[in-house]
Structures are given as C-alpha cells and as structure tokens.
A and B are shown apart, each in its own frame.
Chain A
Amino acid sequence: MTAPPAAFWASAAFWGLAAVAVACGVAVFVVDSMARATFALLASLIAVGLSLLLIDLEYLGLVVILMMIMEMLVMAVFMIMYMMNPAGLMPMKMVHNNRGAALIAGTVFVLLASGVFLVPWPERTGTTPADPAHALGLSIMGPKMLVMMIVGVAILATMVSTTVLATDRGRRRGKGP
C-alpha cells in the first residue's frame, strides 16, 4: 500500500477546513451568548485563513488570521457594548425577523452559488510564481501602487490624529502624560 499523494492531503485539508468554517458559521447563529458567537465567527474566519495557505499564499493567509483575531476582538467590545442586555452571558438570540432573514439569505445564497456555475472560469496558464503573494499584490494594485501607498499613510495619519483628539488627559490635561 502506497502513501496517498500530496494532492489528496491538500484536498482533504481543504474540505476539512471548509467543513469547520461552515460549522462555526452556523454556530454563530445557534449559540446563546455574544462572546461565544464572536469566537465561533473567529474560528470560522481562521479556517478560511488557513485554507489560503493551501494555495501557497502564506503571507496572505497569515495576515487574514492576524487581522481577523484583532477585528473579532474589537468587534466583541462593540457588540457587547451595544447589546440590549449588556450582561451578555444571559441568553441572547442572534436571529431576528426569521422569515424575512431566511428569504434574504436564501436569495443571496442562490445568487452566489449560481455564479459558481455561470462564470466562465479561466484556464490556468503558466506556473506558480516564486512568490505568489507578491505576484497577487502586483496584479491587484500594480498600476495603482502610488494611490494605495498614499491611502495607507492617510489611514494611519487619520488613526493617530483621531487618537490625539480623543485622548483626554484627565486632571493632568495639557501637562504631558
């Protein structure tokens, strides 16, 4: 008996991660606490990030995981803050307006799923580049790299200046830290 080829393990990992992503996504709407819902969503997104590693997009996959952990935690703060019952541990429901939600969700799913079958998928030409993340970045942002870089700096400058404006130094106002 010979060992299964690498392609077998890759597709097994893909389907495993896909199952985890969907199951955790379902869990978001089943659990009865905002903290559990947040971390179920995080687990789902981490599975998505890990599946990017399967197509050699190591940098992209790890950045997705890094950003999603931070985003979900910041989200946890706001979601719990804005909940009608801030205790959060008390039973809560993630679903409201069940019939309307089912209708909208079903329609969106059908639209997206039909896209999978209707889009003419391109045939692969050439081979995997040495650095797929670099190649992907160039093909997405290549001609607009200057704009992207300026936007990046502008976002950071906005963040810093917002914090400067928001920092209230309390009783030591205006006297340094």
Chain B
Amino acid sequence: MGEATPLWAPIALLGALCALGLAAAVLDAVLSGLPTASHPGDAVESPLRSGPLSAAGDPFREAARLLVQQRRRTSLADTLLVRVGVCGLLVVAVLAGVVLPLGDRPVADLAAGVVWFNAMEVGAWGALWLTGWGANSVYPLVGGYRFLAQGMAYELPHMFALITAALGAGSLRVGDVVAAQRGLWFAVWMPVAFAVYLVSALAMAFWGPMRGPVGPDIAGGVRAELSGPDRLLFQAGRHLLLAVVAAAAVPLFLGGGAGPLLPPWLWTSLKTAAVLALLVWSGRGLPTVRMDRFMWLSWLVLIPAALAQLLVVAVVVG
C-alpha cells in the first residue's frame, strides 16, 4: 500500500468530481441553446433566453429551484428504495473515483483497482432501477427496465475494454496501467478498445445516444416523478457518474498525468475535461439509439471487436 493517503486526497477528489460534474451541466446547458443536427429547433424553443451564454446559468438556477421546491409524492411509493437509489447513484460515482489517480497516486491504491471501478459502475444499475421501481409510476418503471434490459449489452463490451487496458499493463492496478503507457498511450495502440470504452461508458452513464432510461419519449423516464432535493441529488449523481467515466479514460487509455511542462494533476484535469466535453457533446449532437439497435450493435459489433482487440493485445504483450 505504501505511505498513508494524505487527508486532502479524498477532499481533492470530491472537489474535482463536483467541478467536472458542474462543468458538464453548464456545457450541456450551453449546447442545448445551440441548434444541432438532431434538434434543429431547440434554440427557438426557449424565447426567454437571449443566447447560449445566458443558458450557462441554467444549471445554477435549476439547482436553486429544486432546493426550495416541495416534494411531489406518488401513491404507494416505496420511499426507502427511492432514497437508496437516488443517494446510491451519487455514492457509487464517488466511490468509483477513489481508484483514479488525480496526480501521482489515487485515494485508494487497490491491487484490483480496475475491478473496483467496474463494480462501482455496475452499482449504478441498481441505483437506477431502484429509483425507477420505487416511485410506483409507469414511466420511471419503463426507464428502469430500459437500463436493466440492456445491462449485459452495456457491461460486456465495457468489461472487455477495461480488461484490454489491464492486459496491456499486465496488472489490474490503475497506477501500473498508467506506468505501462510511458512509451505509447494505450489509446494509440489499442484504438478499438478505447472506442469501445467510450461508447460503453456513455451507456453506463445513460448519456448521449444511450439516454433511453431518462429519455424525453417516456417523460423523463426514471426521473419523471423525482422532484425537489431528490431530483437535484439524482441529477448530481448522473453528472458525477459521467464525470467519473470520463476521468477513468485518462489513466486507462490516455497516459494519465503524463505530458510535457505541466504537472501531472493539471494534465490529468485537462485530458479529463477534453473527454468529458466529447461525451457531453454526444448528448446533444447525436440522436438516441433505439434499444434493439444498440442490442444488435453491442452483441454483434462491439463485443467481437473488443475480443479481437483483446487477442491482438494478448499476442503483442505475450
């Protein structure tokens, strides 16, 4: 384990994740003010706004509104399960981050850090389904099942992409994966695994083309009945989860804190921000993928491609 983790490390992690999550929300709001290919009319829809810049304040206004909003209740809701789900989403996102090094070392330097990260991500399945189930309302339930039904189609390519990076380094420790990329970033010599990681990470964070569980076609899905502080917590958890999957791409595929001139923590932050911006943009720039199409894509394209990449890496390393 080496020397003890300094006290500021968990605080720095929380601060960094919150800043990234907030940045994602602001960028998303700004993008929503711009016309895009899939939503050409979005810019016209909100006449109160003067432009994308004033949209940047929307997440703050929304957070303040939710803080004072009174809770809306549904009949016969399972409040305990909803609370576990809403808080759980936030908790697993933060816990997934503890194995990611911000500078030189992570908060918890686990020997099986990659497995820890994946286990915490999968915890988001439970959180999402509980939130959808507990409300005793049809649209949240549909949203929860949308996620769960795709669970394996999301998780298997994701797991193979993570394993490929670990295999390239010969270790499940995130720090070793970073160290193995001193010569060449994994994103460069295992591009298929990197691409599969990005797609499946978007899916695990139910963002972008895989926003089905919270899609507008089912009135917001899982979060349809959430109001007030519950909704604020859920939204925060969702943004933190996106931030953490973006942050994981950096030590796993983009060389971690390596880079000229700047200190490691700054490089890590810059790379994370770039990946996060790409993921957030995909939410506005790309249409939602229909569930059966993603099923087809995942099982017939992503999994075989990830396996082929795994084989190539195994041959090169072995």
CB distance from A60 to the nearest CB of B (A): 9
Can you show 19 pairs from A to B with CB atoms below 8 A apart? A35-B130, A36-B78, A36-B80, A39-B81, A58-B110, A58-B112, A59-B115, A62-B115, A62-B116, A66-B118, A66-B119, A74-B152, A77-B148, A89-B76, A163-B295, A164-B299, A167-B299, A167-B300, A169-B292
- In the complex, B84 has a CB within 8 A of chain A: yes
Query: How many angstroms between the C-alpha atoms of A34 and B95 in the bound complex?
Result: 27
Decide if the interface of chain B is mainly helix, strand, loop or mixed.
helix
B130 x A65 contact (CB < 8 A): no
What per-residue 1/0 map shows which CB atoms of B158-190 lie under 8 Å from chain A? Answer: 000000000000001000000000000000000
* Complex partner residue of B125 from A70, A131, A133, CB under 8 angstroms: A70
- In the complex, B234 has a CB within 8 A of chain A: no
A177 x B151 contact (CB < 8 A): no
Contacts of A66 in B (CB 8 A): 115, 118-119, 122
Contacts of B80 in A (CB 8 A): 36
Given A169-B292, A177-B296, A177-B297, A69:B148 Cβ within 8 A: no
Residue of B129, B130, B133 most packed against chain A (CB within 10 A): B133
Residue positions of A touching B, CB distance < 8 A: 33, 35-36, 39, 42, 58-59, 62-63, 65-66, 69-70, 72-74, 76-77, 88-89, 131, 133, 156, 160, 163-164, 167-170, 177
Q: Nearest B residue to A34 by beta-carbon distance?
A: B133
Query: How many angstroms between the C-alpha atoms of A77 and B149 in the bound complex?
Result: 8
Contacts of A89 in B (CB 8 A): 76, 78, 136
- In the complex, B10 has a CB within 8 A of chain A: no
B151 x A73 contact (CB < 8 A): yes
What per-residue 1/0 map shows which CB atoms of B292-318 lie under 8 Å from chain A? Answer: 110111011001100100000000000
- New A-B contacts (17) at CB < 8 Å, excluding given A35-B81, A74-B148, A167-B299: A35-B78, A35-B130, A62-B116, A62-B119, A63-B119, A66-B118, A70-B155, A72-B126, A73-B126, A73-B148, A77-B145, A77-B149, A89-B78, A167-B295, A168-B292, A169-B296, A177-B296
- In the complex, B111 has a CB within 8 A of chain A: yes
Q: Nearest B residue to A56 by beta-carbon distance?
A: B111
Contacts of A63 in B (CB 8 A): 115, 119
- In the complex, B123 has a CB within 8 A of chain A: yes
Contacts of A170 in B (CB 8 A): 292
B295 x A59 contact (CB < 8 A): no
Contacts of B123 in A (CB 8 A): 69
Residues 126-153 of B contacting A (Cβ, < 8 Å): 126, 129-130, 133-134, 136, 145, 148-149, 151-152
Q: Nearest B residue to A89 by beta-carbon distance?
A: B136
Given A66-B122, A69-B119, A76:B299 Cβ within 8 A: no
Contacts of B307 in A (CB 8 A): 156
Query: How many angstroms between the C-alpha atoms of A59 and B307 in the bound complex?
Result: 22
Contacts of B151 in A (CB 8 A): 70, 73-74
CB distance from A38 to the nearest CB of B (A): 9
